[in-house]
Structure 1
Amino acid sequence: MTAAMPSRRRGLMLVNPKSRRGGAALEPVIARLEAGGIDVVVERFETPEEVSADIARRRHEADLVIVCGGDGTINSAAKGVLATGLPMGILPMGTANDLARTLAIPDDLLKAADIIVAGHQRRIDLGEVNGHPFFNVASLGLSADLARGLTPEAKKRWGKLGYGLAAIRVLASARPFRAQTIGDDGAAVTVKTLQIAVGNGVHYGGGTVIHEDATIEDGHLDLYSLELKNVWKFGLMLGAFRRGQHGAWDEVRTSKSTEFDIRTREPREINTDGDIVTETPAHFIIRPGAITVFAA
């Protein structure tokens, strides 16, 4: 759907200077946007909490929001764009840029700006766990341990290689835990697992696919549980995970639902789009078509 746009639009550009490409020169991008009819006001922020608060505060001064950063930065804007209904443009400046990949937004910032100028909009789903939004995936276990150990400095220095180096360290010390999962049918399943991931989008972790049939507009969540006895077997499964075909392995349990409850004996941290935000017990829901984005 392409909405009718006024001749000049007002764009609130929110920049995360700490993102991997946060120091990139934005003047050419702003010039491209303004040549395309978007008057840009730039705001740089220091903490994630400022992002949604700034969107809400300036909602009557903007026709659209432009988020410059990685998946964590975009996640920080979710509550603001959800509350205001403003459409969101994305300039991918992070390490993984998984939401941009899902929406086919290129890493080239000028080409990404062209998508915003073109004005084509899509309504996408938003996941939520214990009231915290996520676009890509929320998980506990290995990925939460990975998120805790992967510092912003390591992301900036090593990029995607940093994920691989940190993953090797996490795998070496991984221990399974017991959890109970409950879908919207009310059936409870008890598992002994290394990781449980609940996906809303398509990509996570730098391009890994949550499920080969997943879209960010399908109105449901995709869950998998990694139930390996030997963690090093995970190396044999990497290709299947990259393609979203991991459910073919006996050691991976998968399911789809519009909501999930996950319970563990002891509270376990939950990572949403790269940041630890809550812990179990956890209630996951889907908000279909909740966010409007500019996409190809």
Structure 2
Amino acid sequence: MTKRTPIRFIINPTSGPKSRVDVPACIQKHLDLAFFEHEIVFTEYAGHATQLAQEAAAAACKIVVAVGGDGTVNEVAQGLLYTDTALGILPKGSGNGLARHLEVPMKIEGALQVLNQGHIRTIDSGHINKHPFFTTAGIGFDAYISSVFAGNKKRGLQTYLELVLKEVLTYKHQTVKASINGNELDTDCYVMAFANAAQYGNNAYVAPMADIQDGLLDVCLVRQMDLIKALHLSYSMLTRQLANEDSAEYFQTKHVQVKTEEPMLFHADGEFKGKSTSFEVHVEPQSLKVVTPL
């Protein structure tokens, strides 16, 4: 009898909007059990998914599947960096940025069929102050929203959008010094986003041209914000277009340094990480194996 391929599902039971989907039952029904020998485990605390993923990789598990939102995907992916174990995703969050970029179906049944096909490729990862990210990281406004959202009891896209609309015109830009491709910028900064993938999540494209396999980060800099810029940027993000040069500037680079006089907030894959006056951001090419559609 042919030995089945080991696969571990790491489920975050608190991730995303409430759903009636019975994930373990769905796995049992739609996973190719003739090919896979599967195990299901549940996270119990922040950071647990990384530990569970590391354990699976050390045991030569072929695929580890993150069942949850962007935070869960980030934790699992961290545990699989630089290993031969591939990340799979069953999207169960409100944004699902990496899953959407990789074109993984949003319905669990479809995402399980992607796992059954078993197509694996290797992608880049980004790092901001030693925190790995796989879609986007940022300083300024998007990090501020992440910090407020993290403390909000209500989750989901609607809550996130309400926070953005409430804060977008009252948040104040700061002065930063940035080094990008050897060029020194002394600039205002409302938000500086570092994109490994094209979107934040929910098909909101902060860097439409970003390629997750090109060994580069796409940097989007918005110096200041007003109502006209806010409307234009929103339209550009939702229609997958580059904003005009009056609203945003774009750069491609392997490494970014940013220094600020006042501490600025920062996030990695939408998860608030704290504040700092110094940021080191770089890309690690071809550092994570992922399961994607053919």
Q: TM-score, normalised by structure 1?
A: 0.90
2:289 partner letter: T
1:61 to partner: Cα distance: 5.8
The answer for the alignment partner of 1:73 in structure 2 is 72
The answer for the alignment partner of 2:139 in structure 1 is 140
Q: Give secondary structure in 1 for the equivalent of 2:65.
A: strand
The answer for the alignment partner of 2:171 in structure 1 is 174
- Pairing of 1:1-296 with structure 2 (within 5 A): 8-21=4-17, 24-26=21-23, 27-35=25-33, 37-58=35-56, 59-60=58-59, 62-151=61-150, 153-155=153-155, 159-183=156-180, 185-231=181-227, 233-280=229-276, 281-296=278-293
The sequence identity of aligned pairs, in percent, is: 23
| Structure 2: tracts of 5 or more residues without a match | none
**8 Å Cα contact 2:216-2:252 kept in structure 1:** yes
Q: Give secondary structure in 2 for the equivalent of 1:201.
A: coil
**8 Å Cα contact 1:214-1:222 kept in structure 2:** yes
1:30 to partner: Cα distance: 3.0
- The structure with more helix, counted as a fraction of residues: 1
1:192 partner letter: D
**8 Å Cα contact 1:63-1:87 kept in structure 2:** yes
**8 Å Cα contact 2:43-2:49 kept in structure 1:** yes
Larger deviation, residues 231-240 vs 105-114? 231-240
**8 Å Cα contact 2:169-2:226 kept in structure 1:** no
Aligned equivalents of 2:39, 2:18: Cα separation in 1: 17
1:17 partner letter: P
Aligned equivalents of 1:36, 1:108: Cα separation in 2: 22
**8 Å Cα contact 1:145-1:170 kept in structure 2:** no
1:230 to partner: Cα distance: 2.2
Aligned equivalents of 1:292, 1:48: Cα separation in 2: 23
Aligned equivalents of 2:9, 2:83: Cα separation in 1: 15
Q: 1:205 to 1:249 in 2, by over 3 A?
A: farther
1:278 to partner: Cα distance: 4.4
Aligned equivalents of 2:252, 2:162: Cα separation in 1: 31
Q: 1:21 to 1:29 in 2, by over 3 A?
A: farther
2:53 partner letter: I
Larger deviation, residues 239-248 vs 140-149? 239-248
Q: Give secondary structure in 1 for the equivalent of 2:210.
A: coil
1:85 to partner: Cα distance: 2.8
| Structure 1: tracts of 5 or more residues without a match | 1-5
2:158 partner letter: L
Q: TM-score, normalised by structure 2?
A: 0.91
Aligned length: 287
Larger deviation, residues 98-107 vs 244-253? 244-253
1:213 to partner: Cα distance: 1.9
Two-structure CA RMSD over aligned residues (Å): 1.9
1:148 partner letter: S
**8 Å Cα contact 1:202-1:209 kept in structure 2:** yes
Q: Give secondary structure in 1 for the equivalent of 2:31.
A: helix
Q: Give secondary structure in 2 for the equivalent of 1:154.
A: coil
